[in-house]
Chains A and B, each alone.
Chain A
Amino acid sequence: GENVEQHPSTLSVQEGDSAVIKCTYSDSASNYFPWYKQELGKGPQLIIDIRSNVGEKKDQRIAVTLNKTAKHFSLHITETQPEDSAVYFCAATSFGAAGNKLTFGGGTRVLVKP
């Protein structure tokens, strides 16, 4: 089955700096890669996703890149703000009979220092 590894596990950045989180996956059949943000006491919320036919996607201060050959994808947050402090999860899946059965990385706790 799929295995997703996520690094780093914690990340502390100064407000205004950039943050980068990296994930690798094992199943070459995976074709959908969402990123979730989880705030304290809340469920994960989708912030951006990328399909395997795209190498990069951007949404305001957030961008995701995908390298299918190397089987890794990354989340980039620019101009970080205190409200970006949260736990971020990457996930990978290939669509099948179970819909998008996601395999999650271990999470990255991001702290943005004012």
Chain B
Amino acid sequence: NAGVTQTPKFRILKIGQSMTLQCTQDMNHNYMYWYRQDPGMGLKLIYYSVGAGITDKGEVPNGYNVSRSTTEDFPLRLELAAPSQTSVYFCASSQGQLNQPQHFGDGTRLSIL
């Protein structure tokens, strides 16, 4: 099993550009999450989904959008990139049952210049 796969691994954007960070998992997990990790900091939750067609905001949702049309995929979209969105983005998934661990992808390193 590949687990959680994120693409691209690296990207540089200009201010005002848009892009979509891709995330797919092959573990048939219902719950999926997007986090951002700023240098020297912990992870902060951006958005999450408890199943196809259902999404909700996390701690830092401003400037981002998500969709969940299938169980496997959970893309994160930046509409108008800003320097404050320079970060490493991690996608995670879990079975969602009580105390089941989250499995993380290897991240997308995004720079906004």
- Which residues of chain A have a CB within 8 Å of any CB of chain B? 1, 4, 6, 9, 31-32, 34, 36, 41-46, 49, 51, 89, 95, 97-102, 104-107
Contact B90 A43 (CB under 8 A): yes
The answer to whether residues A101 and B48 also contact, given A49-B101, A106-B42, A107-B41 and a CB cut-off of 8 A, is yes
For the residues of A in contact with B, the DSSP-based class is: loop
Closest 5 CB pairs of A and B: A43-B104, A104-B42, A99-B96, A99-B31, A32-B99
Contact B105 A100 (CB under 8 A): no
Q: A42-B106, A100-B99 are in contact. List 10 more A-B contacts (CB 8 A).
A: A36-B104, A43-B106, A99-B30, A100-B31, A100-B101, A100-B102, A101-B58, A102-B43, A105-B42, A107-B41
Contact A44 B90 (CB under 8 A): yes
B56 at the interface (CB under 8 A from A): yes
Task: Name the residue on A nearest B29 (C-beta).
Answer: A99
